[in-house]
Homo-oligomer: A and B are copies of this chain.
Amino acid sequence: MTALDHAALRAATGAADGEQDRRAEIYRSAARIFHRKGYHATSINDIAAAVGLTKAGLYYYIKGKQDLLFAIMGFAMDQLDEQVIEPARRVQDPRTRLETIVARHAQLITQDSSALTILVNELEGLLPDDRADIIGRQRDYVDFIADTLAALRDEGKVVGLDPTVGAFSLVGMILWISRWYRTDGRLDGEEVVAAVTRMAISAVLSRGDYTSAGNPEETG
Protein backbone atom coordinates (compact mmCIF):
# COMPACT_ATOMS: atom_id res chain seq x y z
CA MET A 1 0.00 0.00 0.00
CA THR A 2 2.90 2.30 0.51
CA ALA A 3 3.78 1.86 -3.13
CA LEU A 4 0.25 2.85 -3.97
CA ASP A 5 0.54 5.89 -1.79
CA HIS A 6 3.74 6.90 -3.51
CA ALA A 7 2.03 6.58 -6.83
CA ALA A 8 -0.78 8.79 -5.64
CA LEU A 9 1.62 11.42 -4.44
CA ARG A 10 3.55 11.27 -7.66
CA ALA A 11 0.38 11.82 -9.58
CA ALA A 12 -0.37 14.72 -7.28
CA THR A 13 2.74 16.62 -8.20
CA GLY A 14 1.98 16.45 -11.88
CA ALA A 15 -1.02 18.07 -13.47
CA ALA A 16 -3.96 16.96 -11.39
CA ASP A 17 -6.24 15.32 -13.93
CA GLY A 18 -7.83 13.88 -10.82
CA GLU A 19 -10.77 11.54 -11.05
CA GLN A 20 -10.70 9.54 -7.90
CA ASP A 21 -7.25 10.94 -7.33
CA ARG A 22 -8.70 12.38 -4.18
CA ARG A 23 -5.99 10.42 -2.48
CA ALA A 24 -3.35 12.46 -4.27
CA GLU A 25 -4.91 15.69 -3.08
CA ILE A 26 -4.87 14.36 0.47
CA TYR A 27 -1.17 13.57 0.45
CA ARG A 28 -0.38 16.89 -1.15
CA SER A 29 -2.42 18.80 1.41
CA ALA A 30 -0.96 16.82 4.26
CA ALA A 31 2.56 17.52 3.04
CA ARG A 32 1.81 21.22 2.81
CA ILE A 33 0.34 21.38 6.31
CA PHE A 34 3.02 19.20 7.89
CA HIS A 35 5.54 21.50 6.29
CA ARG A 36 3.91 24.64 7.59
CA LYS A 37 2.96 23.60 11.12
CA GLY A 38 5.08 20.54 11.76
CA TYR A 39 3.92 16.95 12.03
CA HIS A 40 3.02 16.89 15.71
CA ALA A 41 1.27 20.24 15.62
CA THR A 42 -0.92 19.09 12.75
CA SER A 43 -4.09 17.22 13.59
CA ILE A 44 -5.87 14.74 11.39
CA ASN A 45 -8.75 17.17 11.51
CA ASP A 46 -6.58 19.91 9.98
CA ILE A 47 -5.86 17.69 7.02
CA ALA A 48 -9.45 16.50 6.68
CA ALA A 49 -10.74 20.08 6.70
CA ALA A 50 -8.17 21.13 4.13
CA VAL A 51 -9.52 18.58 1.65
CA GLY A 52 -13.18 19.10 2.56
CA LEU A 53 -13.75 15.91 4.49
CA THR A 54 -14.51 14.97 8.05
CA LYS A 55 -11.95 13.07 10.05
CA ALA A 56 -13.80 9.78 9.58
CA GLY A 57 -14.14 10.44 5.90
CA LEU A 58 -10.43 10.96 5.63
CA TYR A 59 -9.81 7.56 7.19
CA TYR A 60 -11.46 5.98 4.20
CA TYR A 61 -8.32 6.97 2.28
CA ILE A 62 -5.52 6.73 4.81
CA LYS A 63 -4.38 4.15 7.32
CA GLY A 64 -3.19 6.52 10.01
CA LYS A 65 -1.20 9.61 10.71
CA GLN A 66 2.16 7.90 10.88
CA ASP A 67 1.61 6.05 7.60
CA LEU A 68 0.77 9.34 6.01
CA LEU A 69 4.06 10.78 7.21
CA PHE A 70 6.03 7.76 6.06
CA ALA A 71 4.38 7.85 2.65
CA ILE A 72 5.26 11.52 2.21
CA MET A 73 8.85 10.92 3.19
CA GLY A 74 9.10 7.90 0.95
CA PHE A 75 7.81 9.99 -1.91
CA ALA A 76 10.34 12.73 -1.18
CA MET A 77 13.11 10.16 -1.14
CA ASP A 78 11.84 8.73 -4.45
CA GLN A 79 11.89 12.22 -5.90
CA LEU A 80 15.47 12.68 -4.77
CA ASP A 81 16.45 9.33 -6.28
CA GLU A 82 14.79 9.97 -9.61
CA GLN A 83 15.42 13.66 -10.08
CA VAL A 84 18.83 14.02 -8.49
CA ILE A 85 20.74 10.82 -7.85
CA GLU A 86 19.90 8.87 -11.00
CA PRO A 87 20.63 11.74 -13.40
CA ALA A 88 23.85 12.52 -11.54
CA ARG A 89 24.94 8.90 -11.63
CA ARG A 90 25.02 9.10 -15.40
CA VAL A 91 27.51 11.97 -15.27
CA GLN A 92 31.11 10.79 -15.39
CA ASP A 93 33.06 13.95 -14.66
CA PRO A 94 33.03 14.46 -10.88
CA ARG A 95 32.83 18.23 -11.04
CA THR A 96 29.91 18.22 -13.46
CA ARG A 97 28.30 15.48 -11.40
CA LEU A 98 28.54 17.63 -8.28
CA GLU A 99 27.00 20.55 -10.15
CA THR A 100 24.20 18.28 -11.29
CA ILE A 101 23.51 17.11 -7.76
CA VAL A 102 23.44 20.55 -6.21
CA ALA A 103 21.53 22.22 -9.02
CA ARG A 104 18.88 19.54 -9.28
CA HIS A 105 18.39 19.21 -5.56
CA ALA A 106 18.14 22.97 -5.18
CA GLN A 107 15.74 23.10 -8.08
CA LEU A 108 13.43 20.53 -6.49
CA ILE A 109 13.35 22.61 -3.33
CA THR A 110 12.56 25.87 -5.08
CA GLN A 111 9.76 24.13 -6.95
CA ASP A 112 8.06 22.47 -4.00
CA SER A 113 9.87 22.11 -0.75
CA SER A 114 7.09 20.50 1.32
CA ALA A 115 7.91 16.82 1.06
CA LEU A 116 11.66 17.32 0.89
CA THR A 117 11.64 19.49 3.98
CA ILE A 118 9.44 17.11 5.94
CA LEU A 119 11.91 14.42 4.95
CA VAL A 120 14.61 16.02 7.05
CA ASN A 121 12.61 17.70 9.81
CA GLU A 122 10.15 15.06 10.96
CA LEU A 123 12.23 11.93 11.25
CA GLU A 124 11.39 11.46 14.90
CA GLY A 125 7.69 11.25 14.09
CA LEU A 126 8.23 7.90 12.38
CA LEU A 127 8.06 4.41 13.81
CA PRO A 128 11.54 2.97 14.44
CA ASP A 129 11.50 0.66 11.41
CA ASP A 130 10.30 3.37 9.07
CA ARG A 131 12.85 5.77 10.48
CA ALA A 132 15.66 3.29 9.91
CA ASP A 133 14.51 2.91 6.31
CA ILE A 134 14.52 6.65 5.61
CA ILE A 135 17.75 7.33 7.47
CA GLY A 136 19.44 4.60 5.45
CA ARG A 137 18.37 6.17 2.17
CA GLN A 138 19.49 9.59 3.38
CA ARG A 139 22.88 8.21 4.33
CA ASP A 140 23.20 6.69 0.87
CA TYR A 141 22.63 10.12 -0.60
CA VAL A 142 25.29 11.78 1.54
CA ASP A 143 27.69 8.96 0.72
CA PHE A 144 27.04 9.51 -2.95
CA ILE A 145 28.04 13.16 -2.60
CA ALA A 146 31.03 12.27 -0.46
CA ASP A 147 32.18 9.77 -3.10
CA THR A 148 31.95 12.49 -5.70
CA LEU A 149 34.08 14.78 -3.55
CA ALA A 150 36.57 11.96 -3.05
CA ALA A 151 36.78 11.59 -6.83
CA LEU A 152 37.46 15.31 -7.12
CA ARG A 153 40.16 14.96 -4.51
CA ASP A 154 41.75 12.15 -6.52
CA GLU A 155 41.81 14.52 -9.48
CA GLY A 156 43.59 17.08 -7.33
CA LYS A 157 40.74 19.56 -7.64
CA VAL A 158 39.93 19.34 -3.96
CA VAL A 159 42.62 19.38 -1.31
CA GLY A 160 42.42 19.26 2.42
CA LEU A 161 38.68 18.78 2.60
CA ASP A 162 37.15 15.81 4.33
CA PRO A 163 34.62 14.39 1.84
CA THR A 164 32.05 13.59 4.50
CA VAL A 165 32.21 17.01 6.09
CA GLY A 166 32.05 18.52 2.64
CA ALA A 167 29.01 16.48 1.69
CA PHE A 168 27.13 17.33 4.87
CA SER A 169 27.94 21.01 4.51
CA LEU A 170 26.68 21.16 0.96
CA VAL A 171 23.51 19.35 1.93
CA GLY A 172 22.96 21.83 4.74
CA MET A 173 23.36 24.73 2.37
CA ILE A 174 20.87 23.23 -0.06
CA LEU A 175 18.25 22.19 2.46
CA TRP A 176 18.31 25.59 4.11
CA ILE A 177 16.97 27.11 0.89
CA SER A 178 13.49 26.01 1.87
CA ARG A 179 13.71 28.24 4.93
CA TRP A 180 14.44 31.50 3.17
CA TYR A 181 13.41 31.17 -0.44
CA ARG A 182 10.06 32.77 -1.28
CA THR A 183 8.43 32.30 -4.66
CA ASP A 184 7.48 35.97 -4.69
CA GLY A 185 10.87 37.17 -3.49
CA ARG A 186 13.51 39.35 -5.12
CA LEU A 187 15.16 36.43 -6.93
CA ASP A 188 13.38 33.76 -8.90
CA GLY A 189 14.00 30.05 -8.52
CA GLU A 190 16.52 29.79 -11.35
CA GLU A 191 18.63 32.59 -9.96
CA VAL A 192 18.67 31.02 -6.52
CA VAL A 193 19.60 27.62 -7.92
CA ALA A 194 22.42 29.17 -9.94
CA ALA A 195 23.76 31.18 -7.00
CA VAL A 196 23.73 28.26 -4.60
CA THR A 197 25.31 25.93 -7.14
CA ARG A 198 28.10 28.40 -7.75
CA MET A 199 28.72 28.73 -4.02
CA ALA A 200 28.72 24.99 -3.52
CA ILE A 201 31.29 24.39 -6.25
CA SER A 202 33.39 27.25 -5.02
CA ALA A 203 33.20 25.90 -1.47
CA VAL A 204 34.84 22.61 -2.34
CA LEU A 205 37.23 23.47 -5.18
CA SER A 206 40.69 24.52 -4.05
CA ARG A 207 42.05 27.92 -4.89
CA GLY A 208 45.72 28.00 -5.75
CA ASP A 209 46.34 31.02 -3.58
CA TYR A 210 44.37 29.83 -0.58
CA THR A 211 45.55 31.32 2.67
CA SER A 212 44.57 29.68 5.91
CA ALA A 213 41.98 31.14 8.19
CA GLY A 214 44.42 31.02 11.07
CA ASN A 215 46.11 34.29 10.15
CA PRO A 216 44.12 37.31 11.30
CA GLU A 217 47.17 39.62 11.09
CA GLU A 218 46.23 40.83 7.65
CA THR A 219 43.45 42.89 9.18
CA GLY A 220 43.66 46.38 7.70
Contacts and interface: CB of A to CB of B under 8 A. Distances in A.
Contacts of A153: none
A184 interface: no
Is chain A's binding surface mostly helix, strand, loop or mixed?
Answer: helix
Interface size class of A (residues with CB under 8 A): 35 or more
22 contacts: A38-B40, A40-B41, A41-B125, A91-B220, A93-B219, A96-B218, A100-B216, A104-B216, A161-B198, A165-B196, A168-B177, A169-B195, A169-B199, A172-B173, A172-B176, A172-B179, A173-B176, A194-B213, A197-B213, A197-B216, A199-B203, A207-B207
B88 A219 contact: yes
A63 interface: no
Interface in A165-220: 165-166, 168-177, 179-180, 186-187, 192, 194-207, 210, 212-214, 216, 218-220
